[in-house]
A and B are shown apart, each in its own frame.
Chain A
Amino acid sequence: MVNVIDYMPGDTLLHRLNPVVKLGLAAAIIVGIFLSDTYVALLGFLALTLALGAYAGVVDRLFSLLKLLIPLALIMLVLQLAFMRDGNVVWGFITDTGLITGSKACLRLLGVALPLILMLMVTKLNDLANACVEVLHVPYRYAFTFTTALRFVPVFGQEMNAIMEAQTARGVEYDTKNPIKKLKLMLPLCVPLLISSVGKTDATALAAEQRGFYLRTRASSYKRYPIKGLDIAVLIVSIALIAIGFLF
């Protein structure tokens, strides 16, 4: 199973930016989306994210992520339509205000999720952690905790799959069509998953300590993450994006 946040190697400008600046750009797009209130701006930010994805060569994976997000967005739309009682009735229980706020909420949801994922796709986790430590002065143990947690997501996913396979082979009906029944069957599996997770986490802590984790300082990283001209340009663009969000 390919994980959506896996690093995609590449040599585009987006790949070469300082990881912290990438984080800033993603944050700027998100803030911009929260601030803006017109369709043009919302769609514009979404289009910008996808265009950046296309430029970095990861747009197909962004689209596969969109496929997962769109149903979620539609559920939100339905809820908004059901609860928004202002405005004129368009059809049945749907009002025009509900339609407008609902569709904007949908676009916001999509627009907020994608930039961060895009940023993780074009940045190695280690670079992100090291750059945060060097540029932002984040203590290394927090950066390490964050990257390790992200790295363990697929590991636990695989473990869960293996456990489900083992249980299916024993005759537990995970192949049932009924999602509630499936969820009920999955609950007992938390025990084996939890036990293996605790063991793994403990072993990771030991391995890190045995490789000098506690000696690490801000200057330890072999790779350097200086802020270059390009990075400053992108930061200015980021501020401009926030301003655009504020104005529109």
Chain B
Amino acid sequence: MKTIINVDDVSFSYGAQTEQALKHISLDVNKGDFIGIIGPSGAGKSTLAACLSGAVPHHYTGTFFGSVMVDGNDTCEVSLTDVSQIVGSVLQDIDTQMVASVVEDEMLFGLENFGVPHDQIEQRVSETLETVGISDLRDREIATLSGGQKQKVAIAAILAMRPRVLVLDEPTAALDPASSTLVFETLREANRALGITIVVVEQKVALLSEYCNRVLVLNHGEIALQGEPHEVFAHTDELRTIGVDCPRVTRIFNSLEADGLASGTPCLDVDEAERLISGIVDPAHAASEAQAPAGSPHAPSLRPHAKDAEPVLTFDHVEFAYPNGGAAVHDLNLTLYPGELVGIVGQNGAGKTTLTKLLTGLLKPASGSVRVTGLDTAAVPTSRIAREVATLFQNPDRQICKDTVLDEVAFGLELAGIDRAEALRRAQLVIDRFGLPADEAPFSLSRGQRQMVALASVVVVEPKIVVLDEPTSGLDYRECMTVMETVRTMAERGCAVIMVCHDMEVVSDFAERIVVMADGRILDRGRTHELFSNIDLMRRAYVEPPQVIELSRRLASSVSPAFAQVSEVTDVVRITKEMVRRG
């Protein structure tokens, strides 16, 4: 295989910073590769992507050692424009990538600049739109597109220039699971049909393991692991210490392997895992075990809320529509009791965010009523509701406005009318618990730490209800677990939690009830596991159920009913082992 990008012993640090973002990285990108880069936040993933695309050292300056050769040219010696004729790159924030307001103009920009003969332009544009599957969007205004559509336009605009390598930095960070899969399908099409080499920074392990032929794990600026997805994800324990998640089915495999029940290459998707387990367990025996361990001691039990407890939140036949169109909601009914942790799932545009805004009083219902701790949101000001309801937003930068972490965390208490000395005292307690630097400026912290500051500001006000809007996006696995554990502790102390989240694994780990939404309506609500096992419902809501639940549902019908209602890795392993022992 021919090498197209050769990275030789590259170290890089931004500006005068002493800490190196990359340390002695060596890497060959071969023609036709589909490489995935994963790692905890601050590991240097974006910096590595920037090195490959020439943005380092041309756009981001700093101290650069080693060399990056793109198709035989040293990126330090040729201009960024030269590099970008070979390596096309799609940035993290798509809105900033766009140069035009209409899709067609966006497509033309690169082609015109790079001097593609005008008689070929039309063909290039229409072919590329065809490949990416967005021919119907050609004349649309970019501002009116959904997140997934915009991402495809961004990719198409780069593909039209026929780069030989495409570098993408977290292209699915803001997308729901269905759109994320579509983006990766597009990349696979470009990789196979056009022979374009793909390098993608991505946090979603399930996508990486399915689409990439090579995975690179970065940690502290170094390559910790690399190889085929099967090889890399076999190192579950190592990955966990680094702070990278594994596909859940891979964990099942690894546990079984530790007990000598499985060997060979680990499984990465539900199909492989189903084959593995039905191969180990003899179905004839398993069938007779039908009465065997039904249910599971680990299944998340409904948190006992006092029988006559007053609900902290009720939605009663709530209707809302935006004046200019957009995600309207219809006939929402919902009751939430203290101590409950409820997940809201559904694809983008299903009305999930509208629901949370109705809850926080940012939107007032057109008809019906929303009552938060007995207050009618239509009758009291939003700032009053804020004393009862705290929101953790997807983007912490939108809520941070003070000069120090201490002031920032105390701000919410001061707004609630608590005097400054007391507010600072309480804020200090929470800051100590989170181990945050109290006197630093919040904006000088890393993205993950800023989210922790935002979380501390939520915890400190001791709200009755917490709303989480995509709490895990942009966070690595370890930060995500810290956030969710904190929230769970709050729920155990009697705070009600509503969580909007695209990561179904997180939802199934932490939520005991879910509400499934589509097209602005609540399709169903109930125990997390029951709803996730309802294939018909999941299909109607365009939600892909978590791997373990999908696996246990399939095993329950193909191997043994004992697998029904199982949602934890450890339970699948335990039941399998018991069956093998008895069989």
Interface residues of A (CB under 8 A from B): 1-3, 6-7, 9, 124-126, 144, 148, 151, 154-155, 159, 162-163, 165-175, 188-189, 191-192, 195-196, 199-201, 203-216, 220-223
CB atoms of A210 and B55 under 8 A apart = yes
CB atoms of A171 and B412 under 8 A apart = yes
Of listed B59, B99, B361, residue having the most chain A CB within 10 A: B99
CB atoms of A212 and B393 under 8 A apart = no
30 contacts between A and B (CB under 8 A): A1-B324, A6-B101, A7-B141, A151-B101, A154-B143, A166-B393, A166-B399, A167-B398, A169-B360, A169-B391, A170-B399, A170-B412, A173-B381, A175-B383, A189-B401, A192-B401, A204-B97, A204-B99, A206-B91, A209-B84, A210-B89, A211-B84, A211-B114, A211-B161, A212-B110, A215-B81, A215-B114, A221-B112, A222-B118, A223-B108
Please report the total number of B residues contacting A with Cβ < 8 Å.
67
A169-B382, A195-B397, A220-B115 given as contacts; is B102 within 8 A of A126 (CB)?
yes
B113 at interface by CB-CB < 8 Å: yes
Q: Mark B376-414, 1 if CB is under 8 A from A, else 0.
A: 000001110011011101010111111000000001100
**A93 and B84 alpha carbons, distance in the complex (Å):** 68
Q: Enumerate chain B residues within 8 angstroms of A213, measured Cβ to Cβ.
A: 81, 113
Q: Which residues 542-582 of B have a CB within 8 angstroms of A?
A: none
CB atoms of B398 and A222 under 8 A apart = no
Q: How far is the CB of B313 from chain A (nearest CB, A)?
A: 15
**Interface pairs A-B: 3 shortest CB-CB:** A212-B113, A171-B386, A203-B96
Q: Enumerate chain A residues within 8 angstroms of B96, measured Cβ to Cβ.
A: 199-201, 203-204, 207
Q: Enumerate chain A residues within 8 angstroms of B395, measured Cβ to Cβ.
A: 162
Q: Enumerate chain B residues within 8 angstroms of A166, measured Cβ to Cβ.
A: 391, 393, 398-399
Q: Enumerate chain B residues within 8 angstroms of A214, measured Cβ to Cβ.
A: 79, 81
**A216 and B386 alpha carbons, distance in the complex (Å):** 51
B53 at interface by CB-CB < 8 Å: yes
Q: Enumerate chain A residues within 8 angstroms of B59, measured Cβ to Cβ.
A: 205-206, 209
B416 at interface by CB-CB < 8 Å: yes
Chain A interface SS verdict (over half): helix
B100 at interface by CB-CB < 8 Å: yes
Q: How far is the CB of B207 from chain A (nearest CB, A)?
A: 24
CB atoms of B81 and A212 under 8 A apart = yes
Q: How far is the CB of A65 from chain B (nearest CB, A)?
A: 16
**A173 and B324 alpha carbons, distance in the complex (Å):** 26
CB atoms of A125 and B101 under 8 A apart = yes
B105 at interface by CB-CB < 8 Å: yes
CB atoms of A172 and B443 under 8 A apart = no
Interface residues of B (CB under 8 A from A): 53-55, 58-59, 79-81, 84-85, 88-89, 91-93, 95-102, 105, 108-115, 118, 121, 139, 141, 143, 157-158, 161, 324, 357, 360-362, 381-383, 386-387, 389-391, 393, 395, 397-402, 411-412, 415-416, 443, 457
**A175 and B362 alpha carbons, distance in the complex (Å):** 10
CB atoms of A222 and B399 under 8 A apart = no
**A200 and B97 alpha carbons, distance in the complex (Å):** 9
**A211 and B387 alpha carbons, distance in the complex (Å):** 48
Q: Enumerate chain B residues within 8 angstroms of A200, measured Cβ to Cβ.
A: 93, 95-96
Among candidates B89, B95, B415, residue contacting A171 with C-beta atoms closer than 8 Å: B415
CB atoms of B112 and A168 under 8 A apart = no
CB atoms of B108 and A222 under 8 A apart = yes
Q: Enumerate chain B residues within 8 angstroms of A210, measured Cβ to Cβ.
A: 53-55, 80-81, 84, 88-89
Given A191-B401, A209-B84, A212-B81; 19 other pairs, CB 8 A cutoff: A126-B102, A154-B143, A162-B395, A165-B357, A166-B391, A166-B398, A169-B361, A169-B399, A170-B386, A170-B390, A170-B457, A192-B398, A195-B443, A201-B96, A203-B96, A207-B97, A210-B54, A220-B115, A222-B121
CB atoms of A192 and B99 under 8 A apart = no
CB atoms of B457 and A211 under 8 A apart = no
**A206 and B96 alpha carbons, distance in the complex (Å):** 9
CB atoms of B443 and A124 under 8 A apart = no
A125-B100, A209-B80 given as contacts; is B91 within 8 A of A167 (CB)?
no
Q: How far is the CB of B444 from chain A (nearest CB, A)?
A: 11
For residue B389, which residue of chain A has the nearest CB?
A169
CB atoms of A222 and B102 under 8 A apart = no
Among candidates B143, B382, B398, residue contacting A6 with C-beta atoms closer than 8 Å: B143
Among candidates A167, A169, A196, residue contacting B397 with C-beta atoms closer than 8 Å: A196
Q: Enumerate chain A residues within 8 angstroms of B98, measured Cβ to Cβ.
A: 151
A126-B105, A216-B113 given as contacts; is B386 within 8 A of A203 (CB)?
no
**A18 and B96 alpha carbons, distance in the complex (Å):** 28
Of listed A154, A200, A210, A216, residue having the most chain B CB within 10 A: A210
Q: Enumerate chain A residues within 8 angstroms of B324, measured Cβ to Cβ.
A: 1-2
**A144 and B393 alpha carbons, distance in the complex (Å):** 34
**A2 and B323 alpha carbons, distance in the complex (Å):** 10
For residue B89, which residue of chain A has the nearest CB?
A210
Q: Enumerate chain A residues within 8 angstroms of B113, measured Cβ to Cβ.
A: 211-213, 215-216, 220
Of listed B92, B357, B391, residue having the most chain A CB within 10 A: B391
**A2 and B322 alpha carbons, distance in the complex (Å):** 12
For residue A140, which residue of chain B has the nearest CB?
B113
CB atoms of A222 and B391 under 8 A apart = no
Q: How far is the CB of B470 from chain A (nearest CB, A)?
A: 13
Q: How far is the CB of A158 from chain B (nearest CB, A)?
A: 9
**A48 and B111 alpha carbons, distance in the complex (Å):** 40
**A151 and B59 alpha carbons, distance in the complex (Å):** 23
Among candidates B84, B110, B118, B401, residue contacting A167 with C-beta atoms closer than 8 Å: B401
Q: Enumerate chain B residues within 8 angstroms of A199, measured Cβ to Cβ.
A: 93, 96
Q: How far is the CB of B399 from chain A (nearest CB, A)?
A: 4
Q: Enumerate chain A residues within 8 angstroms of B398, measured Cβ to Cβ.
A: 159, 162-163, 165-167, 192
Q: How far is the CB of B417 from chain A (nearest CB, A)?
A: 9
CB atoms of B360 and A211 under 8 A apart = no
Q: Enumerate chain B residues within 8 angstroms of A192, measured Cβ to Cβ.
A: 397-398, 400-401
**A185 and B448 alpha carbons, distance in the complex (Å):** 27
A166-B398, A170-B411 given as contacts; is B362 within 8 A of A211 (CB)?
no
**A165 and B415 alpha carbons, distance in the complex (Å):** 15
Q: Enumerate chain B residues within 8 angstroms of A216, measured Cβ to Cβ.
A: 112-113
